[in-house]
Amino acid sequence: MVTQLIAAHREGDEKAGDRLFAVVYDELHAMARRQLRFRKPGETLNTTGLVHEAYLKLFDRDESGWNDRVHFFSVTARAMRQILVDYARRINAEKRGGGQYHTELNASLISDTTKNVDILDLDDAMKELEKLNPRLATIVECRFFGGMSIEETGALLDVSSRTVDRDWLKAKSFLYLALKGDE
Amino acid sequence: MDPDRWKKMEVLLDEALDLDPSEREAHVRAQAAGDDELRDEVLRMLAASQESESFLESTGRGDLENALARMASAVEDESEDDTMELATAGPYRLTYMLKSWAL
C-alpha cells in the first residue's frame, strides 16, 4: 500500500500524501510504545533507528526506486517531527493539569554537545523559517528529523548537494539565532 | 521578518559565504551600504553560521529516538495498565518481559 501511496503522492496527489503520513506516523508511534513496553526496567532504550525500522517494515524495496526511498524518508522525517511535537504538547498539558511529571521530561531533550533544545521551540522557529523560505525548513526536517544525507536531501528537492549544503548552513544559523534569543 | 527582506538578506549572505572568510565582512559592509539593518542582520547570520556548525548536527538518530521514547514514556506509562498488572502479578515481581514477544 505504501508503494502506491508514495507513487501517487509523488504525482501530486495530496490525499495520498496525507494517508502516507498517517501510516508512517502510526508506525513510529507504535514502535516508540513497543520499545517502552519491552525494555528492562532502568535499561536505556534500544534505539536501533526508528526511522530505519519504519523503512524496513513499510517500504517495499523490490518495487520501489531510489527516489521513492528518498520520498519515503522525507515523509518519515515529517512524521518524526510531528510525533515529537505532539508528545511534548501532551506532556506540557498534563503537567499543567496535575504536575505529575518531572520537569526534565518537559525539556524534551534533543541535544548536541553544547545545547539542549526544546522540541516546541524548535518547531516554532521552523515554522517561522518555513514562511521565509520553505525549502530551508524542509532541509532541516530531512537532515535533523530524518537523518537524511546531503545527497538524499538534494535528490528529494531536485537541487545540487552544494545548494543543500549552503541552505542547511543558513537554516541552522537562523534556528540557532532564533533559539538563542529564546533564552 | 518579512519574506522580501529575508530574500534580500539571503542573497547577500550567499554571496558572502562564497567568499574566503576573511573577505566576507568587508563584502557585506560594501554591499549593504546605506542599509544598516541589512548589514547587521547578515553579519549576525554570518557569525551564527560559524557558531552553529555543530548545532542540530552531532546528535545522531539515537538522541532523537531517546527523546521520542522518553516523551512517549512520560505520556503513556500511565496508561500501560496491562504492563502494570503483570509487573505485580502474584507473589512475583516481573522485572522484564521477553523481547521476543514483540516480534
Whether residues A144 and B59 touch (CB distance < 8 A) is answered with yes
Whether residues A80 and B68 touch (CB distance < 8 A) is answered with yes
Give the separation between CA A63 and CA A84, rounded to whole angstroms. 30
Q: What pLDDT does residue A110 have? A: 44
Residue-wise pLDDT for A137-157, tens only, equals: 999 999 888 888 899 999 999
Phi, psi (deg, nearest 5) at residue A110: -125, 110
Residue-wise pLDDT for B6-15, tens only, equals: 999 999 999 9
Which band of pLDDT confidence, cut at 50, 70 and 90, is reported for residue A42? Answer: low
Whether residues B80 and A140 touch (CB distance < 8 A) is answered with no
Give A174's contacts (C-beta < 8 A, 6+ positions apart): A125, A129, A132, A136, B45, B48
Tell me which residue of A126, A148, A134, A160 sits closest to A72, measured CA to CA. A148
B-chain CB neighbours of A41 within 8 Å are 95-96
Side chain identity at residue A100, one-letter code: Q
Tell me the three cell numbers of residue A66. Answer: 531510489
Judge whether A128 and A86 are in contact, CB under 8 Å: no
Whether residues A175 and B73 touch (CB distance < 8 A) is answered with no
Q: For A167, which residue in chain B has the nearest alpha carbon?
A: B14
Which candidate from B66, B74, B102 shows the least CB-CB separation from A34? B102
What does the DSSP 8-state code read for residue A114? S
In chain A, what's the furthest Cα-to-Cα distance?
A: 50
